[in-house]
Amino acid sequence: MDELQALGGPAGFALTYGALVAIVALRYVAIAGLFYWLLWSRETPRVKSRLLTDGRPRPATVRAEIGWSLISALIYALPGVIVIEAWKAGGTLLYTDWRPIDWVWVPVSIFICLFIQDTWFYWTHRLMHHPRLFRIVHLVHHRSRPPSPFAAFSFHPFESLVYAWLLPLLIFIMPIHVAAVLFILTLMTLASVLNHSGQEIIPDRWLKGPIGHHLITAAHHDIHHRDFTKNFALYFRFWDKVMGTDVMEDAYPFLESRREQREGAD
Ligand SMILES: [Zn+2]
Ligand SMILES: [Zn+2]
C-alpha cells in the first residue's frame, strides 16, 4: 500500500484498479467455482434430494454467466478505486483501529449496510422488471434458467452500475471498520453464489425455523428465476413480505411439514 501511495497519479490509479478487478474476479471465481464443484460435479443421493430444478445448467449458459460476471467485476472495481483514493486523502469514514465500542458498532453497522443494500436491491430490481426496462437491463440475468452458482454476478453492465456504487457511497457517510467492509463484500458474493446454486444446502430444520423464515436462500431465489413477479430481495424476506411478493413454503415439498403445521394452527 505504501508503494501505491507513493506512486500516485494515473499510474497509481490504474494499478489500484487492476488489483481491485483481480480481487473481485478471483473472489467470484473461487467461491462460485467451489460451489459448482461441490454441488454439480457429484451425483450423491443427498445432492440429488436438494435439487431445485429438473435440468442441469447448460454449458453455454454457464459460459455466458462467467463472461457477464467478469464484466461486472470491471464495473464493481471502479467505485472501489474512488474509495481507496479518497481514503488515502483522508476523505472517507473508513477506519482500521479497533475501539471497545466496535464490538457493538461493527455488527450494527454491518446490519445497517445489509438492510440498506437489501432495500435498494428490492426496489431497483422490481423496477427493472418493468417491461420498458426488462429487456435492456435485466434480461441478461434471467437467461439463467436454471441458474448455476456462476450466475452470481451475471448482470448486464447497466444493472451492475445500479448496484456497484451503493456500498462505496455508504463508506463516505457512515463510519465503517475495514473488517466490516471485507465481511460484507465476502457475504455478498457468498449469498449470491448460494442463491443461484440450484440446490438448497440449508438444512430443513433451519429453513423451517427463524433463519428460513427471515433470510433468503437458494429455494427462495430460485422461485424468482421461474416466476418473475415474486421474491425480489437479496438477503432478507422483509420487503417481499411487506409488499406481498413473498413465496416460499408452498413451493417446495421439503417444506411441507411447515405448511401442515401452519394450516393446523389456523
Ligand atoms: Zn438471480
Ligand atoms: Zn429479476
Distance 83 CA to ligand 2 centre (A): 29
Residue 256 has pLDDT above 90, yes or no: no
Rounded to the nearest whole angstrom, what is the distance from the C-alpha of residue 141 to the centroid of ligand 1? 6
Cα of 118 vs centre of ligand 1, distance in Å, is 14
CA of 60 from ligand 2 middle (Å) equals 20
* Cis omega (within 30 of 0) for bond into 157: no
Which amino acid does the sequence have at 69? S
CA-CA distance, 96 to 42, in Å (whole number)? 42
State the ligand closest to the CA atom of 228: 2
Cα of 178 to ligand 2 centre, how many Å? Answer: 31
Distance 228 CA to ligand 2 centre (A): 6
pLDDT reported for residue 261: 52
Considering the chain, what percentage of its residues have pLDDT values greater than 70? 90
- CA–centroid distance, 261 to ligand 1, in Å, is 30
Q: What pLDDT is recorded for position 191?
A: 94
Show me where the domains of the chain are located.
Answer: 2-265
pLDDT digits (tens, 9 = 90+) for 190-237: 999 999 988 888 888 888 888 888 999 999 999 999 889 999 999 999
Of the listed ligands, the closest to the CA of 159 is 2
Tens digits of per-residue pLDDT, 76-92? 999 999 999 899 888 89
Q: What confidence category does residue 4 fall into, taking pLDDT thresholds of 50, 70 and 90?
A: very low
pLDDT over threshold 50, residue 117: yes
Distance from Cα 95 to the centre of ligand 2, integer Å? 35
Q: What is the pTM of this model?
A: 0.87
Instruction: Give tens-digit pLDDT for 139-160.
Output: 999 988 888 899 999 999 999 9
| Residues 39-58 pLDDT 10s | 888 777 777 777 787 777 88
Is the per-residue pLDDT at 265 higher than 70? Answer: no
**pLDDT-derived band at 263, boundaries 50, 70, 90:** low
Average pLDDT score over the chain: 88
**Residue 221 CA, ligand 1 centroid: distance in Å:** 6
- What does the pLDDT average to over 107-130? 97
